[in-house]
Amino acid sequence: MQECLNISDRSKRDFVSIYSLETRIKEINQSMIDLVNLAVKSGEDEVKYESQLLQLKEEKQRLQSILEAEKQKKQNSTKPEYDLKCMLEELSKNNISLEDYDDILVRKLIDSVIVQSDNTIKIYFKGGLETVKEIPED
């Protein structure tokens, strides 16, 4: 259950980061529109506003690059989570009983298991997800 919480916490952080970038880009767009309107209404020399527009344009381009990278990173990081969710949905859809060990199922879901210590293993799922589990002592 803790792994699910970690996944959703990470997704929330990604959402906040993407949301804040998109919000700032909208603010820059509005500032650019306001600046152009101000230049037109004032009838002053346009050169006076060029440097401000250029700064806003450069900031917008930089933020758009970061936003695209964040979206790509989020898309890449959610694929393993999506794959695992699909596997789990398939399990529940087929009413597979998990009371007994099923070698075929394990081979479909798990890529490898590494023993880290006497009471800890690391499980690598197909699709890139991984988790560390404590083995209770009997």
Instruction: Report, as an integer, the average pLDDT of 61-75.
Output: 86
Query: For residues 31 and 56, is the Cβ–Cβ distance under 8 A?
Result: yes
What's the CA dihedral at 16, 18, 22, 27 to 10 degrees? Answer: 50
CA 123 to chain centre: 22
pLDDT at 2 over 70: no
Over the stretch 81-112, which tens digit does the pLDDT of each residue have?
Answer: 666 666 666 666 666 666 777 787 788 778 88
The pLDDT of residue 136 is 85
The pLDDT of residue 29 is 93
